[in-house]
Amino acid sequence: MPPVSSGNPNLVSHILPMASTDAEHYHSGTNGEAKPPPPKKQKLCSFISESEIQSEFSHHDASVARINNGSFGCCPQSVISAQQQWQLRQLRQPDGFYFNDLRAGILESRKVICSLINADDVSEVSLVDNATTAAAIVLQQVAWAFSEGRFDKGDVAVMLHYAYGAVKKCVEAYVTRAGGRVIEVDLPFPVSSKEEIITEFRRSMERGKLNGQKIRLAVIDHITSMPSVVIPVKELVKICREEGVDQVFVDAAHGIGCVDVDMKEIGADFYTSNLHKWLFCPPSAAFLYCRKSAKFTDLHHPVVSHEYGKGLAIESAWIGTRDYSSLLVVPSIVEFLNRFEEGIEGIKKTNHEEVVKMGEMLAKSWGTHLGCPPDMCSSMVMVGLPSCLGIASDKDTLKLRAHLRNHFGVEVPIYYRAPKDGEVDPVTGYARISYQVYNKAQDYERFRDVINKFVSDKFCCACLSV
């Protein structure tokens, strides 16, 4: 039976007949008289409906066009309820919770993640608060390698120029301070093919090896944050292997729920993704995958507690008295995902298609372009803003973003791209739009119309006070 469209691209309902009782199958009595058909028995097996989605996110501020799922994610009501149940369980009988429930609950969540990411073994999966914590775990261990003489002063760490700011600070704190040399991979933006990224990465590898230095670590984003671009992570990990890089850490803060996340295919040593960005977890939750290997036994949570020395996954499951509920709701998230046709895969695919459609609509209306081809976009797209807005600095992007939030109810982050010498009428500002299941075309149309009004009113960033 063909699917019945509900209007929302995420949703499709199927009406499954239970028996062959269609109206045309009239029963005939013994005298040949037509009898009225028995009542229709149909079982309605439907995926989540549009109104159910809206009710799941009814706590969102309805006055805001929230086209920035990328920054802080979202959490549906059914998962919030599950989280509250865990919180009550902890408060009702704390000793019972800590000594009977906590470890088992965290193990259940780890098993779910293990199967979602195609890891070999649940021992490879630790649950931590966020990608920032995961980066600290990996880099702390690199700092020890320097201080304990396994890495030499001047050995190299390579990371993307567009690595996330907090992760760059972490590299500064643990690698630069320990005597390591950091090389940044310059990436073009706008970017037109993954080959451009691969070429720049290879170039940086060459720079890293000059003077016979060893490249000890590569930090590779799966999806850069600003500007947002899907990085050809499999290809870059392969290059690292060919070059003999000791450790490869993939920062995929946006990964799970947004792009394909398969540990065997990607082949990194460490891979982290937030669960609160694109997997509907309440803040905050992330996993850190550490490939099973004799090389990586000395990983520890930066908050040392009772479980120190029992392996990262166990250490991370008890780091003192706190609220663990956001890590315990992972099985409830799977229930939510499975209400959508094709579950997480269906959500990912629809979000990608819709965000590209919305990005193209905006670029057409403003006479600009997307920051990269659709196959390098995830559920986020960079859209050029009209150059007449006069975006001339990072400060301008913050002022414009605040203006859109405070006066027009549009929540969207903006990126500043410095013009190149000789460029005529360059696009210097790009909006990063996201698409998640709760979004509607009207959210993007509001943004489009506000920007078009700015253009017709000759508004520019210089008009905005600090």
Ligand X SMILES: Cc1ncc(COP(=O)(O)O)c(C=O)c1O
Instruction: Using CB under 6 A, list all residues that contact ligand X.
Output: 130-132, 164, 166-167, 221, 225, 251, 253-254, 274
Task: Look up residue 50 and give its amino acid.
Answer: E
Q: How far apart are CA 117 and CA 120, in angstroms?
A: 9
Helix extents (H) in 3-76: 50-56, 69-72
- Smallest gap, in angstroms, from Cβ of residue 254 to ligand X? 6
Q: Which is nearer to ligand X, 164 or 366 (CB)?
A: 164
Contact assessment for residue 391 and residue 400, using Cβ atoms and an 8 Å cutoff: yes
- Smallest gap, in angstroms, from Cβ of residue 130 to ligand X? 3
- Smallest gap, in angstroms, from Cβ of residue 135 to ligand X? 7
Q: Which is nearer to ligand X, 109 or 434 (CB)?
A: 434
Q: Which is nearer to ligand X, 132 or 434 (CB)?
A: 132
Task: Name the phi and psi angles at 278, rounded to 5.
Answer: -120, 5
Q: Which residue has the tokens 């005939």?
A: 28
Residue closest to 274 by CA, chosen among 82, 414, 411, 113: 113
Contact assessment for residue 208 and residue 245, using Cβ atoms and an 8 Å cutoff: no
- Smallest gap, in angstroms, from Cβ of residue 225 to ligand X? 3
Task: Name the phi and psi angles at 12, rounded to 5.
Answer: -145, 135
Q: How far apart are CA 314 and CA 393, in angstroms?
A: 45
- Smallest gap, in angstroms, from Cβ of residue 231 to ligand X? 10
Angle (nearest 5°) at CA 116 between 248 and 352? 85
Q: Which is nearer to ligand X, 151 or 249 (CB)?
A: 249
Residues 6+ apart with CB under 8 A from 15: 1, 4, 42, 44, 45, 46
Q: Which is nearer to ligand X, 254 or 301 (CB)?
A: 254
Task: Look up residue 379 and give its amino acid.
Answer: S
Contact assessment for residue 282 and residue 75, using Cβ atoms and an 8 Å cutoff: yes
Q: Which is nearer to ligand X, 82 or 219 (CB)?
A: 219
Contact assessment for residue 412 and residue 401, using Cβ atoms and an 8 Å cutoff: yes
Q: Which is nearer to ligand X, 130 or 368 (CB)?
A: 130
- Smallest gap, in angstroms, from Cβ of residue 142 to ligand X? 17
User: Exposed (0-12), middle (13-18) or buried (19+): which is 62, by Cβ within 10 Å?
Assistant: exposed
- Smallest gap, in angstroms, from Cβ of residue 365 to ligand X? 28
Q: How far apart are CA 32 and CA 217, in angstroms?
A: 84
Q: Which is nearer to ligand X, 252 or 314 (CB)?
A: 252
- Smallest gap, in angstroms, from Cβ of residue 167 to ligand X? 5
